[in-house]
Structure 1
Amino acid sequence: MTSSPAPQAASVPVPFRPGLEGVPATQSAICDIDGIRGLLTYRGYPLEQLAANSTFLETAYLLIWGELPTIFQLRDFEQEVQMHRRVSFRIRDMMKCFPAGGHPMDALQASAASLGLFYSRRALDDPQYVFDAVVRLIAKIPTMVAAFQLIRKGQDPIQPRDDLAYSANFLYMLTEREPDPIAARIFDRCLILHAEHSLNASTFSARVTASTLTDPYAVVASAVGTLAGPLHGGANEDVLEMLEEIGTVDAVESWLDQAIKARKKIMGFGHREYKVKDPRAVILQKLAEDLFLRFGHDAMYDVARRLEEVAADRLGPKGIYPNVDFYSGLVYRKLGIPRDLFTPIFAIARTAGWLAHWREQLGANRIYRPTQIYTGSGERAWLPLESRPAVV
């Protein structure tokens, strides 16, 4: 007698979460966030320790390869990055064809993607290929950002200087002046703060692209395109505009009350992960104060501090506090960086995190293919053109 097949278990509907909020999409050993206590670690190391003691290239090495480098590993990595800072004249010529009024993030996305044409060999199982790709992207992204800034001003790009460290060299290429050592160190610490932050939108984009086993240049280009959106990478520009709109310390309280009443978004406040002040904002505030001691005060900082004080009373009970964008724009402005380069600088730093997730994705890859909840029409019969009802 033939036994009947076992009954199939009824499928359990998966709840829909807009924006995948709270839905685990991967397992990762790169970054950990404790949003209740305001803690952020890279590979287990507290961000505060890295910002105080490390350099961006050392932190990038940690993120990408999982451990702090030895003195010899760091020296070799720094030398390799230094040797690969220059970009092909063909990429510079391509950038000269970009419209001067185009946004630097669009220029960066196109330029990053173009690297795949110059290094088209794809050998994702070859450790040397992976190392070389990491070096090229870490080295060349800053050069391309600085090059477009000068090209759109009608000037030729400045070649990198081999005697300058990573951050000092970028500021030199950008401003045509060798930076003050304090400014260069503060900028380097800013890059550390922005290097990684778990599975945010651009990092998720990078992992989805990486899961198709395309080349790492396409992975970074896709992440740059995602970071360009105003809900992700551009908020620090909006913070400065908000502070300028408020204008003075005395106007803060009334401005904030009106903004809350009108349900207006307070730029630089609130984060999906943190219910306390973003630990990166704490460090950035101190960096801003260090810059002001060296190069002069910025009156907008007083407006920002007062806004934070008043907002703590109005918004703090809801778990809304300053995030990483609140003070970073003030730091970049004091460093003489144009406002529309704030997000490309974010991309320079976050390239380290994107590449770390690229390597991790390759280690246990499965292409991303989430499901959906269909909300369209039921099955319908096709109608000839003359039989279709007129649309009013």
Structure 2
Amino acid sequence: MDKVRYAVVGAGWISQIAFMPAVAQTGNSEISAIVSGSGPAAQELARFHGGAEVVDYDGYDALLASDRIDAVYIALPNSLHADYTIRALRAGKHALVEKPLAPTVAECEAMITASDASGALLMTAYRLHHEPGTVEVLERIRRGEIGDPRLFSSVFGFQSDAGNHRLRAEHWGGPLQDIGVYCLNAARHVFGDEPIEVCAMGSHGDNDPRFAEVEETVAVTMRFPRGRLAQFVASFGTDAQDSYTVLGTKGTLQIDPAYRFETHLALRQLADGAEQSVYTAADCDHFGAQTAYFSECILRGTRPENDGAEGLADVTIMRAIEAAMQTGQSQKITLPPRPSHPGPDTLRDVPRTDRRLVF
């Protein structure tokens, strides 16, 4: 096998605009099936992306039982991640799953158990682990260029469209799960450690009907070992912003933009308020890079860095954040240390493409 054959499970916006166009750029991956409930649109997408077969959700298990695919990309609403992933893993198909991995700790653990039992690989789709800008930030911190990192501060917000499934509680929607997870994940790898305590507040907006079921804005403070602190705000009701700042004992890193796949990460390094350097990440297709990396793991039989346990860690923390919002009391967290973090070995150089079909 020289290419990993993917079934795209859920042919919505993120699959159309980002994942499917990127696959052809990887050199080691291809789309062999699209699993969707949108028949005509899925057929047109399949023709556009090389003639993949189209399967409805009732035919999913038969597809998994066949030898026509090797892996699945799960881009369904959060509430469906565990079911469709576990079915794939039990059938021996590898699974690349959009974040958050699943709504509950128990579901994440069941996904990891299914992967361990079958030997099929499970990877959480943290695309930023595979693009050069994020890795450059982490490498500068590891080299001690800003001294000891002490504070992390981030804002990620935009105006969410009414009717989006991310605004529905039944799918574990909300700004924390959709975009706050980027801030949370970044803080964990900036410090190279896991938080030990969180406190948080949430707002449902000012009588905005979009936020009847989920928060408009979530503000979080996390305590890390060695007295380090991280704060972030995630919002579905603000002007567009995605940035973070890392303050060390000898310098500062300002990253803006930081998280979106459509832009190039930009970095300013300062010391005592004076600019030391400016950096803009090289062009890279984030989705292509993560897919190329996962396919390489499959072809080589190696465990991905951003495995199921990486997704489980963020879900554990997000559930503690929710408990802090609900109770008004800080929540203690106990997580095992991560055995690895994003670095040069997780980078993959995949060029962007303008060839896409979006409905």
TM-score (norm 1): 0.23
Q: Per residue, is there more helix in 1 or in 2?
A: 1
Structure with bigger gyration radius:
1
Structure with greater strand share of residues: 2
TM-score for the superposition, normalised by structure 2:
0.24
